[in-house]
Copies of this chain bind each other. A is one copy, B any other.
């Protein structure tokens, strides 16, 4: 009697910080109809995973839905999967955070569904060889990864069924391989095709099993799927066919299968994720070479043969590819360290619990990387991460500084590049300076609003930009009446996006010091194609001095660089820039004094600029705008481009948050402003995203040899002041 065990795992997730309407739409179009139809086929057993952000939303907005899950668990149709509550990538976390997040979801599941999960849903299936030990410590007995992971371990396709045992230091966990074929056929191909494939897999070996596990959003949220899965009844048909074939195809939960059948063997999996993710993790130039190779191999008809030996990068590479992701990750570790050091005696007092919950929300993976979905490119997701991390930090700091105002500093290699950052923290602000990178300000947190003002993403090459350029070429050819295949059409949310492909040669931090060439214009500065004559922007500054008042009410930090002005003929002249930052506890002001010195004997003509980049999540939002005190241009949006001469103060305002940043210049400056906009891919095609507002304050001067010029700046964050 032939048989195949069919293991179904459905993973449902919405990122921390996603818009409420996305949750609502997901619930109506996908999560609710999916489960209601499953309920009507009680003999179809399967395993379900919901992440914390979704569970918390559902618990608040649709508690009856969670009751339905509980009922399906009770009657044995559904097994609940565990995981990290806010869907973190485990390999990015400290082990104790992983264990706590797994415990959080277990406790939720026990309380709400009456079920203790035995298995772990692995976010983005990012496998790390240390996981068997950690998952064992978490009390988990199994997890689910891609079949490709098993190919990488040297297995042949016909061996990749059932489950395997893997271990670290003798601590074991079972791993189920997801069948990629099923991942591409469910629910996209006619139900009969999948049934046929399952029937084909049935064998005399009673223990034969195949795993399907994938995102629940494919059942209603992906473009076109709601119509297909529900209106055109894909799901109902599929389940009815499964019921008809119940003798041959046995649906079974992972944990029941595990108790009934032995493993296929033992295995060791390398760092891996699904194939596409590993390609996305490669640096753009390397990704292009990878794509070219894959294309060549496909032409040679060697894809299947070479596949087990080919792979892209590991997840951690995203932290190299995007320095902003690294900063977010290292900030997360910094906060995790603070939270985990909290005096936990008495154990788990409410503020500590709350700090943990905030920290864990700040660990949700989506904002840390970028692939097919927006991810890191979505500034509201990055902002949510920072908001939760700053909240967790603020709670921790308050427990350590119960007496109100405080100020502290530390030289610490936050971003792990072996050069220390200068970390200044107070009850109102965090200021992270990176001396080794232009002496710039890389993070400015305004704590009362739990907001990182400098959360700006630079414009970088992405491997898929090539497609956009090819599309442009093709559309030119199309005008020449050449034929065009449907596969060549690249979906764009707006036309002409290729014109927005500008690439930054430096990270968009603040207090970046420029010496501009005379051909510089707002337009070429905006597109990063202007002539830079200095070597200050991203080069190392010395920490000249750190001084503070005896009880640390006030800290002054002085950074300096002996750099150069380059002339076109290759000559260079010595120029020194010294900048001092003055910060006080209880205050959200930063007093800055710049001194620029011509260290040459002869006079130099200098066009000196200081660049700032702030992100208020703007984009055509009339409540987020520039404001120039005493002038009538208050309606210029934060994503606008413009120039102003003789500016004493420029404010960036966010009425939603009732928050503004003011920059005051003495002497007054010429100020350019423009939005930084990236072009990135999302599931809906290519799109343009506002990543922040760049401000360049600049002054031209003739500076005699040996002489200096001083500029005083005052930066203030705070509630909007009426003018």
Q: What residues of chain A have their CB less than 8 Å away from a CB belonging to chain B? A: 91, 93-95, 128-130, 152-156, 165, 167, 169-170, 172, 174, 262-263, 265-268, 270-271, 281-283, 285-286, 289-290, 293, 296, 300, 302, 305-306, 308-314, 316-317, 319-320, 326, 330, 333-334, 337, 413, 415-419, 436
Give the docked Cα–Cα distance between A45 and B525 (Å).
Answer: 48
CB pair B169–A94 under 8 Å, yes or no, is: yes
Given contacts A93-B169, A309-B310, 18 further A-B contacts (CB under 8 A): A128-B130, A129-B314, A153-B320, A154-B281, A154-B317, A154-B320, A165-B417, A165-B418, A170-B330, A174-B418, A265-B417, A266-B320, A268-B320, A270-B270, A270-B313, A290-B309, A293-B309, A311-B311
- Name A's interface SS: loop
Q: Which residues of B contact A293 (CB under 8 A)?
A: 302, 305-306, 309
Q: Which residues of B contact A172 (CB under 8 A)?
A: 413, 416, 418
Give the docked Cα–Cα distance between A326 and B285 (Å).
Answer: 40
Give the docked Cα–Cα distance between A271 and B93 (Å).
Answer: 18
Give the docked Cα–Cα distance between A261 and B366 (Å).
Answer: 36
Q: Which of B165, B174, B281, B310 contacts A310 (CB 8 A)?
A: B310
Q: How far is the CB of A6 from chain B (nearest CB, A)?
A: 21
List 24 A-B pairs, Cβ < 8 Å.
A129-B130, A130-B130, A152-B313, A153-B313, A154-B312, A154-B313, A154-B317, A170-B333, A170-B334, A170-B337, A172-B416, A172-B418, A174-B418, A262-B418, A262-B436, A263-B417, A263-B418, A265-B320, A267-B320, A268-B314, A270-B271, A271-B271, A310-B310, A311-B311
Q: How far is the CB of A641 from chain B (nearest CB, A)?
A: 33
CB pair A312–B314 under 8 Å, yes or no, is: no
Give the docked Cα–Cα distance between A413 and B167 (Å).
Answer: 12
Q: Which residues of B contact A305 (CB under 8 A)?
A: 289, 293
Give the docked Cα–Cα distance between A608 and B305 (Å).
Answer: 44
Question: Smallest CB-CB separation from A314: which chain B residue?
Answer: B270
Contact A286:B308 (CB < 8 A) given known A129-B128, A271-B270: yes
Give the docked Cα–Cα distance between A267 and B318 (Å).
Answer: 10
Give the docked Cα–Cα distance between A15 and B413 (Å).
Answer: 39
**9 closest residue pairs by CB, A with B:** A268-B316, A154-B286, A170-B333, A167-B416, A154-B283, A270-B314, A270-B271, A130-B130, A154-B282
Q: How far is the CB of A434 from chain B (nearest CB, A)?
A: 13
Q: Which of B312, B317, B413, B436 contacts A268 (CB 8 A)?
A: B317
Give the docked Cα–Cα distance between A460 and B319 (Å).
Answer: 43
Give the docked Cα–Cα distance between A94 and B167 (Å).
Answer: 12
Give the docked Cα–Cα distance between A215 and B409 (Å).
Answer: 46
Give the docked Cα–Cα distance between A301 and B288 (Å).
Answer: 19
Q: Which residues of B contact A333 (CB under 8 A)?
A: 169-170
Q: How far is the CB of A394 from chain B (nearest CB, A)?
A: 20
Question: Smallest CB-CB separation from A321: which chain B residue?
Answer: B154
Contact A309:B312 (CB < 8 A) given known A333-B170, A418-B263: yes
CB pair B268–A416 under 8 Å, yes or no, is: no
Contact A156:B285 (CB < 8 A) given known A167-B416, A268-B320, A271-B129: yes
Question: Smallest CB-CB separation from A287: which chain B residue?
Answer: B154
Q: Which residues of B contact A94 (CB under 8 A)?
A: 169
Give the docked Cα–Cα distance between A151 and B423 (Å).
Answer: 34
Q: Which residues of B contact A311 (CB under 8 A)?
A: 309, 311
Give the docked Cα–Cα distance between A282 and B276 (Å).
Answer: 24
Q: Which residues of B contact A155 (CB under 8 A)?
A: 283, 286
Q: Which residues of B contact A156 (CB under 8 A)?
A: 285-286
Q: Which residues of B contact A296 (CB under 8 A)?
A: 302
Question: Smallest CB-CB separation from A318: which chain B residue?
Answer: B268
Q: How far is the CB of A608 from chain B (nearest CB, A)?
A: 27
Give the docked Cα–Cα distance between A413 and B171 (Å).
Answer: 10
Q: How far is the CB of A391 from chain B (nearest CB, A)?
A: 20
Q: Which residues of B contact A326 (CB under 8 A)?
A: 266
Q: Which residues of B contact A271 (CB under 8 A)?
A: 129, 270-271
Q: Which of B93, B152, B165 contacts A416 (CB 8 A)?
A: B165
Give the docked Cα–Cα distance between A313 and B153 (Å).
Answer: 6
Question: Smallest CB-CB separation from A415: which chain B residue?
Answer: B266
Q: In the complex, which of the residues A94, A285, A308 has the most CB atoms of chain B within 10 Å of its own CB atom? A: A308
CB pair A416–B316 under 8 Å, yes or no, is: no
Q: Which residues of B contact A334 (CB under 8 A)?
A: 170
Question: Smallest CB-CB separation from A268: which chain B residue?
Answer: B316
CB pair B418–A129 under 8 Å, yes or no, is: no
Question: Smallest CB-CB separation from A334: which chain B residue?
Answer: B170
Q: How far is the CB of A355 from chain B (nearest CB, A)?
A: 18
Question: Smallest CB-CB separation from A279: which chain B residue?
Answer: B309
CB pair A153–B317 under 8 Å, yes or no, is: yes
Q: Which residues of B contact A128 (CB under 8 A)?
A: 129-130
Give the docked Cα–Cα distance between A91 and B169 (Å).
Answer: 9
Q: Which of B91, B313, B314, B419 contacts A262 (CB 8 A)?
A: B419
CB pair A417–B266 under 8 Å, yes or no, is: yes
Q: How far is the CB of A32 from chain B (nearest CB, A)?
A: 38
Give the docked Cα–Cα distance between A490 and B122 (Å).
Answer: 47
Q: Which residues of B contact A170 (CB under 8 A)?
A: 330, 333-334, 337, 416
Q: Which of B91, B289, B416 contacts A266 (CB 8 A)?
A: B416
Contact A316:B129 (CB < 8 A) given known A154-B282, A290-B309, A309-B293: yes
Question: Smallest CB-CB separation from A267: which chain B residue?
Answer: B320
Q: Which residues of B contact A152 (CB under 8 A)?
A: 313
